[in-house]
Amino acid sequence: MSKAKPHPCLNCGQPDMSLEEKDVTLALGGRTFVVPKVKGWHCPACGEIEFVGNGSAECYSTALDAMSASLDGRQ
């Protein structure tokens, strides 16, 4: 009876996020960046990500830093 619990999205209320590892595309300042293999709960409706494990969150924030740095360097 109790299988995997549904994982609701905190952002938009979508009741069933999916747990997977996938490439996430970020857009900032007219440029796009891809963070590969982000492991976590991904919301199919709004794109919200709930990271699973420290590695994914770290990769993601490192990518965000790199994005900001490269944009700053161009202006």
List Cα–Cα distances, 60 to 12, 15, 47, 50, 52, in angstroms: 21, 24, 14, 11, 12
Residue 9 touching Zn ion (CB under 5 A): yes
- Judged by CB under 5 A, the stretch of 5-13, 20-28, 31-39, 49-57 that binds Zn ion is 5-13
Contact call for residues 33 and 59 (beta carbons, < 8 A): no
Q: Tokens 């993601």 label which residue?
A: 60
- Judged by CB under 5 A, the stretch of 9-17, 18-26, 29-37, 64-72 that binds Zn ion is 9-17
Residue 50 touching Zn ion (CB under 5 A): no
- What are the residues binding Zn ion (CB under 5 A)? 9, 11-12, 14, 43, 45-46, 48
